[in-house]
């Protein structure tokens, strides 16, 4: 596996790959890689001739400086994991390489990027679109792989791809969970053992809400989830939204969509750590 730090080297390498008619899979990451990322990389390796994994902790998508500062940085072990998964290139540029000038571009795809994470983390999806559009332009991938754990992110990136006309396929990949049910996330490393056990409660409640929803309204199901999670002393719901899985608009009745999804953000523990998850009804 080649570790590439600058854009010109990346482009030269990929130009020759494309000249040979080979397909390129891109897995964008911010590092601190875990089994969830590994599943994306393995899938890309199975479906493409060449797999590029970007490792870049993108400052423009963090609206909370503390969150950026304490985000785990583990480049060496990340590269070991990528080698084991069969990745071809790890692209790990510096902030100056990616943003030699401040990126002033504004992306706006309402309601997709305005609700839920968009409302609670202003500017977050603008930063995601800034970096992902740059990566798409530099790598020109055949396919790009994203974890469904960030359910809303995939919906926003799909809108951006349509808007800017990138000729590529977005491949959503299923959430990978710990045995306890907790969705794998780089932020889980920041939880103590006790907090980790508490965090597993989030998915348990989401699962309990599936049979509950069968004979209760959207509003009652919403309340059930919020109350059950908030009843745990280490957990506090920031928002729970039951939405149409395509438009991400709130629904009031189950009959409104054939793709109802519940999206949740919960603060866990003392620090506290912000965790997201979702469930399909």
Pick the closer one to ligand PAF by CB: 112 or 221: 112
Member of 150, 151, 182, 221 binding ligand PAF (CB under 6 A): 150
Catalytic residue (one of 34, 37, 124, 278): 37
Is 248 within 8 Å of 109 (Cβ atoms)?
no
Tell me how far apart the alpha carbons of residues 33 and 186 are, in angstroms, rounded to a whole number.
7
Give the Cα-Cα-Cα angle 178, 239, 35 (nearest 5 degrees).
Answer: 20
- Residue whose CB is less far from ligand PAF, 139 or 229: 139
* Shortest distance in whole angstroms from residue 28 CB to ligand PAF: 4
Residues 58-77 that bind ligand PAF (CB under 6 A): 58, 61
Residue 116 region by backbone torsions, left for phi larger than 0, else alpha for psi between -120 and 50, else beta: left
Question: Binding to ligand PAF by residue 185, rule CB under 6 A?
Answer: no
Q: Which residues are CB-contacts of 176 (< 8 A; sequence separation ≥ 6)?
A: 34, 35, 36, 39, 147, 149, 183, 184
- Per CB under 6 A, does 130 bind ligand PAF? no
Figure out which of the listed residues 14, 30, 129, 171 binds ligand PAF, where binding follows CB under 6 A: 30
The three-point CA angle 188-175-230 to 5° equals 55
Q: Any catalytic annotation for residue 37? A: yes
- 132 in contact with ligand PAF (CB under 6 A): yes
Q: Tell me if 38 contacts ligand PAF by CB under 6 A.
A: no
Q: Which is nearer to ligand PAF, 157 or 205 (CB)?
A: 157
By CB atoms closer than 10 A (0-12, 13-18, 19+), residue 213 is buried
User: Whose Cβ is closer to ligand PAF: residue 28's or residue 260's?
Assistant: 28
Asked if 129 interacts with ligand PAF (CB under 6 A), we say: no
Q: Name the segment binding ligand PAF (CB under 6 A); options: 24-32, 95-103, 253-261, 273-281.
A: 24-32
From the list 61, 71, 26, 43, the residue with the least C-alpha distance to 185 is 71
131 close to 58: Cβ distance less than 8 angstroms:
yes
Active site residues: 37
Contacting residues toward ligand PAF, per CB under 6 A: 28-30, 58, 61, 128, 131-132, 150, 153
């Amino acid at each position: 596996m080649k570790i590439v730090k600058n854009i010109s080297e990346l482009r030269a390498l990929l130009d020759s790959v494309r000249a040979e008619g080979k397909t390129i899979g891109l897995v964008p990451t911010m590092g601190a890689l875990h089994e969830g990322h590994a599943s994306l990389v393995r899938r890309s390796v199975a479906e493409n001739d060449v797999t590029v994994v970007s490792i870049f902790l993108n400052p423009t998508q963090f609206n909370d400086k503390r969150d950026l500062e304490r985000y785990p940085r583990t480049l060496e072990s990340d590269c070991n994991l990528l080698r084991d998964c069969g990745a071809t290139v790890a692209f790990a540029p510096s902030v100056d390489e990616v943003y030699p000038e401040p990126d002033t571009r504004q992306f706006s795809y309402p309601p997709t990027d305005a609700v839920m994470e968009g409302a609670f983390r202003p500017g977050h999806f603008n930063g995601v679109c800034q970096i992902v559009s740059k990566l798409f332009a530099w790598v020109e991938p055949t396919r790009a792989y994203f974890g469904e754990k960030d359910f809303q992110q995939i919906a926003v990136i799909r809108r951006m791809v349509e808007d800017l006309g990138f000729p590529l396929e977005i491949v959503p990949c299923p959430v990978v969970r710990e045995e306890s049910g907790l969705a794998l996330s780089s932020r889980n490393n920041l939880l103590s053992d006790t907090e980790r056990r508490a965090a597993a409660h989030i998915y348990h409640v989401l699962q309990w809400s599936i049979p509950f929803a069968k004979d209760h309204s959207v509003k009652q199901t919403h309340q059930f989830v919020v109350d059950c999670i908030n009843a745990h002393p280490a957990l506090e719901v920031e928002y729970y939204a039951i939405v149409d899985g395509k438009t991400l608009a709130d629904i009031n009745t189950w009959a409104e969509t054939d793709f109802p999804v519940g999206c949740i953000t919960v603060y866990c523990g003392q620090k506290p750590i912000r965790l997201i998850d979702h469930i399909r009804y």
